[in-house]
Amino acid sequence: MALFHVQGVPIGYTAIMLAVIASMGGFIFGYDTGQISDILLMDDFLLRFAQCGTPGDVATCKFSTVREGLIVALLSIGTLIGALLGAPIADFLGRRRAMQIEALVFCVGVIVQIVTKSSWAQFAVGRLIAGLGVGALSAAVPMYQAETAPPQIRGAMTATYQLFITLGILVAYCISIGTRHASGGSSWRIVVGIGFIWPALLIVGIQFMPESPRWLAAHGHIAKAERAIAVTRGLPADAAASDYIIKREVEEIRASVEYERSVRKGWIDCFRPRHMILYRTLLGMTLQSLQQLTGANYFFYYGTTIFQSVGIADSFVTQIILGGVNFGCTFLGLWINNRFGRRKVLIIGASWQSFWLFVYAIAGTAKDPKTSKSIGDLMIVSTCLFILGFATTWGPCIWILIGETFPTATRAKQGALATASNWMWNFLLAFFTPFITRDIGFRYGFIFASCNLAAAVFVFFFLYESSGISLEMVDQMYNDPACKPWTSSTWAPEGYANRDELRQKIREEEAKKPLTAAHAEATQRTSTGSNGSFHDGEHISEKPLTH
């Protein structure tokens, strides 16, 4: 049974559930990211793994810069490797099986961390192993969501990955504050051990979701692909063979798969300049790198330590506030990115983030926040407002762009390269931040503020506006020599004056298309009443281009 209709086309509850369940992969990453900030300050963790001047006296225990950096950053090395392996694993095993196996790899990493008694290196290796699973999931999950969710809501469904990352961070903060005073190793082992729940939900839940129709079609299972689409539409499986909409989507998938087979590409093809392939590879890698250089993970990885240093009495509580702002504002980000496109959102977001990072850095540099409550409060407020900007713009928007910027033949590999660049910078920032803050303190904020300004300039000169048009048309736009990034917002295919005219024409054509009797009445009812709030232009036929 359909939950609602978009552009006259039914959307079933399974479409929503598959996005939510698959996004547990993002939750796993968010939880693992959020927990380490608080764990580093727990008494038992310090006594076991830090360097103590007086054995048994936690007041004399402190992590060396190298040790702290490795404990935090080795997760990112694992995610970098996992991201590169995620796409081929998902192609070989199928999207669902790949996610289940990758979740199990994460569980192995959790086990290694929990059984650690006194070796900080073992704990760090456990995070490395967990990172392999997280990185592979970061490649498989958005791919599965984009291929399985109905095209009319694809943008919003893919963005749930970022939403669940923020939720995972917030949940980790909340659990950590509840266990920090537990006796012995329970304080941090409970936090790490609860990490078993999230992959278990993914492993069990994804078993009841349909496999990617695109993967099924690529492996010759056309009938199963039809049934998978029917389920996401809220239709009976036995209606798949006769439903017009499903047959049309399957034919589009079949044509795309056949095209990919005829132009099968390798990794080297991602770096060929023809058809703007190299341009888009470098664009995706740079955007993912800039997402890290905004400075968000500076607060997520080391937030508790940072706010302890500004004199906050309970930095754990402050971290929860930041996590709540991050999670709550991501909902707003889903709407903003669908409503205002990509370029404008990223440029304004980077400018906003830069301003508040300058405030943060100036305040922390001008006066010692430990001796001035007003300065400490100003730094907390500026951090929250920075997080607000990130959660509504650079957080979700970059993941959406990775799914819609690349051409069909090289999309998986270009996406893997872009995601790997994210994890590489994630590692560099996580590892070197303790060294940098030791030497320049809160002036570190000036570096991130400058990076945000550079990001705004980069987006203006190099990113094309890809909202409101199909993936096929995105490819056409990048290959149109008359279109420039700063004019791309008004670009439309030949025969249309602008994108508004294009969208209106599509709505008119959609309303005229024959539907099954079960859908006819719903289409008539919603064709005038639906505002297409989830629509991101991706319902247009995505037949492959012939260059």
Which of 209, 230, 251 is the last residue before a domain boundary?
209
pLDDT at 8: 53
The residue type of 335 is: W
Which residue positions in the chain have pLDDT lower than 50? 513-547
**pLDDT tens track for 385-403:** 999 999 899 988 898 888 7
Residue 37 and residue 118 in one domain: yes
The verdict on residue 519 lying in a domain is yes
Residue finishing a domain among 262, 291, 324:
262
Within a domain: residue 329? yes
Same-domain status, 177 and 75: yes
β-sheet bridge partners, residue 220: none
In a domain, 417, yes or no: yes
2 located within any domain: no
Residue 134's H or E segment, with its range, is helix 120-148
In this predicted structure, what is the pLDDT of residue 521? 40
End-to-end alpha-carbon separation of the chain, Å? 41
In a domain, residue 1? The reply is no
CA dihedral 232, 236, 241, 243 (to 10 degrees): -70
Considering the domain architecture, whether residues 485 and 456 belong to the same structural domain is answered as no
CA separation for the pair 254, 257 (Å, rounded): 5
Q: Are 389 and 493 within one domain? A: no
325 lies in the same domain as 388: yes
Task: Note whether 107 and 178 are same-domain residues.
Answer: yes
For residue 378, what is the domain's CATH number? 1.20.1250.20
One domain, residues 201 and 110:
yes
**Spatial contact of 162 and 399, defined as CB atoms under 8 Å apart:** yes
Same domain, 393 and 510: no
| Of 124, 133, 2, residue with least CA distance to 64 | 124
**Could you tell me if 480 and 518 lie in one domain?**
yes
User: Model-level pTM greater than 0.85?
Assistant: no
CA dihedral 6, 7, 10, 12 (to 10 degrees): -20
Domain count, the chain: 4
Question: Angle at CA 367, nearest 5°, toward 366 and 368?
Answer: 140
Side chain identity, residue 251: E
pLDDT at 119: 92
Taking phi over 0 as left and psi of -120 to 50 as alpha, with beta for the rest, 480 belongs to: beta
Contact 124, 307 (CB under 8 A): no
pLDDT at 3: 60
Give the residue from 287, 10, 16 showing the smallest Cα distance to 154.
Answer: 16
- On whether both 454 and 512 belong to a single domain, the answer is no
In a domain, 343, yes or no: yes
316 and 373 inside one domain: yes
Which residue range is the domain that position 61 belongs to? 13-209
Is there a domain that residue 8 lies in? no
Q: Are 161 and 145 in contact (CB under 8 A)?
A: yes
Please provide the average confidence, as pLDDT, over all residues in the chain. 81
Look at residue 529 and tell me if it is in a domain: yes
C-beta separation of 472 from 544 below 8 A: yes
Domain boundary among 433, 463, 493: 463
- The verdict on 416 and 509 lying in the same domain is no
